[in-house]
Amino acid sequence: MTTTNSNHACPLRRTRDNRILGGVSGAIADRLDVDVNTIRIAFAVLSVLGGGGALLYAAGWLLIPDEAAEASIAEDFVKGLGRH
């Protein structure tokens, strides 16, 4: 018997809901089906303990597309380089 998790069927997207800065925490919380504040606290703790949280958040902001966009910021940048 195979079960499918509907959360993994949908793409990871930065949401307009649950957004304080870039929507990264909201996207991860939606995907993992956990409270968004849990993810925010994890990023804050990681940021205080060595700065890793800020780097991970920035990477998420660059790599996870916005729900209204077709591609992430990084994908758009790379595509723009190919046009020149």
The predicted-structure confidence for 16-26, as pLDDT tens digits, reads as follows: 887 888 999 99
Q: Is the pTM of this model over 0.75?
A: yes
Q: Provide the b/e sequence for 19-58 (b: ≥16 CB within 10 Å).
A: beebbbbbbbbbbeeeebeebbeebeebeeeeeebeebbe
pLDDT tens digits for range 38-50: 999 999 999 999 8
Give the start-to-end residue ranges of the domains of the chain.
Answer: 16-82
